Amino acid sequence: MRVKSDLADLDIKLGRISRQGDELVVDSAPESNLDARIRVDASDARSMLGKVLKSGAVWSFLLRLPFSRPERAPGTPRDRELRALKEGRDAGAPRSPDNPAWRERRESTGLNKPW
């Protein structure tokens, strides 16, 4: 999975999933860009599950999943074309970091600025 923000552009792969007490613990895989541990408590899990079950986008994604093809090797003309299209779609997302209105709001409020 890819996490993209002003602070980082990371490729995180899920590793071991376990349970510790009342929490679900997800560790990143060794090949991830970032060593991370995510702890999910019951209220977070209920909230996420509710949002997933109500999302038409999630159901559409899951229904198409068996028919999706793996990405082609990097550097092929088709791969470059798809990457360009994906970047273009990100720009139109309302809260995308690439969206000019969101970038202006973030800069004016100082959101996510650690310095």
In angstroms, rounded to a whole number, what is the distance separating the alpha carbons of residues 40 and 69? 31
Query: Has residue 81 been placed in a domain?
Result: yes
More confident residue, 103 or 32: 32
* Residues 37-68: tens digit of each pLDDT: 999 999 999 999 999 999 999 999 999 988 88
| Per-residue pLDDT, 8 | 76
More confident residue, 97 or 59: 59
- Would you say 82 and 88 are in contact if contact means Cβ atoms under 8 Å apart? no
In terms of residue numbers, what domain contains 98? 73-110
Query: Has residue 101 been placed in a domain?
Result: yes
Query: Has residue 104 been placed in a domain?
Result: yes
In angstroms, rounded to a whole number, what is the distance separating the alpha carbons of residues 45 and 47? 5
Give the total number of structural domains in the chain: 1
pLDDT averaged over the chain?
A: 77
Query: Has residue 89 been placed in a domain?
Result: yes
Tokens of 106: 């973030």
Mean pLDDT, residues 29-36: 84
Query: Has residue 13 been placed in a domain?
Result: no
Query: Has residue 12 been placed in a domain?
Result: no
Query: Has residue 48 been placed in a domain?
Result: no
Strand partners for 111:
none
